[in-house]
Amino acid sequence: MTKLVTTSVVRGSHQGESHGGIYLLDLEKQIVEQTVDWNKADIDWQGRGWDRGLRGIAFDGETMYIAASDELFAYTPDFEIIGSWKNPYLKHCHELSIYERSLYITSTAYDSILGFDLDKKKFNWAMQLATRNFKFHTSVFDPLGEDGPIMLNKMHINNVHCNKSGMYISGLQTGGMLHFNGKQVHMAAELPTGTHNARPFRDGVLFNDSEADALRYAGRGEGAEDRAMVVPRYDPAKLMNEGEDKSGIARPGFARGLCVLSDSVVAGGSSPSTITVYDLAANKQLLSVNLTNDVRNAIHGLEVWPY
């Protein structure tokens, strides 16, 4: 029985209100359980787009790591917090990825990726991404030192994915999915502006084309396997907006959140918070589960539940 775990953010929430939470979704029964309601009083109120909920998700054994805007949390499988860590260079985080014994987390405000040692439980590596003369450059810095970058958010890095081939980085202004081989950064695949969750998949790249309200797969072949899976459409009369969204980006259909279930079946998120499972080979939706009709409430992190 496959379950998914997802986080959401609520754009425009006010202090004391819910800013999203953590949800478990049983795909077979199509039942959703909210396990955490994120309504902390000490949330940073200066986040881009007022997205102050929970973000990326990753697993290390019996520990689940979930990021907030400027803090990394560790949970048990029963959703009890067992640790949390902040860093001066961690700000406006989006997604994270675990490879070997390190967790890598996007620090969007600093155009950086931070590394967290899973054994020593501390930040121990950081890399800023920049462009000069139309080329990408990296600079490694000490996340515990005082000589790191200033807050610029030029690229709006929103995703990092690591595997044995290297580190893949993407964002709203990177122009596509970048590949870091440990020494240099190169463009691995050019992608549309507004992309989220880009990652290598099969012989190509899988990503959320958020501007087009679609989940896409683009291969290296002649295009016969390429897919553009449009997220669910909603009756405007049923949508709610239970508060003011000063960011102006809360809208139905915003595609964000992505996980792989098999080599042909994937799940994606959209707003108002909805999880949809797609069969890429058959080019069709298999099922779709809606968590809320509040258009401000948007899926962020999405992973297969391993427990």
Domain assignment of residue 200, given as a range: 3-304
Q: Is the pLDDT of residue 222 over 80?
A: no
Question: The CATH number of the domain where 291 resides is what?
Answer: 2.120.10.30
Preceding peptide of 272 cis, ω within 30°: yes
pLDDT in tens, 55-106: 999 999 999 999 999 999 999 999 999 999 999 999 999 999 999 999 999 9
C-alpha 274/C-alpha 197 separation (Å) is 16
* Model-wide pTM > 0.85: yes
What total of structural domains would you count in the chain? 1
pLDDT at 133: 85
Type of residue numbered 127:
M
pLDDT in tens, 266-304: 999 999 999 999 999 999 999 999 998 888 889 999 999
pLDDT in tens, 120-129: 999 999 999 9
pLDDT at 249: 56
SS3 string of 218-246? EECCCCCCCEEEECCCCCHHHCECCCCCC
Q: Is the pLDDT of residue 197 over 70?
A: yes
C-alpha 249/C-alpha 107 separation (Å) is 21
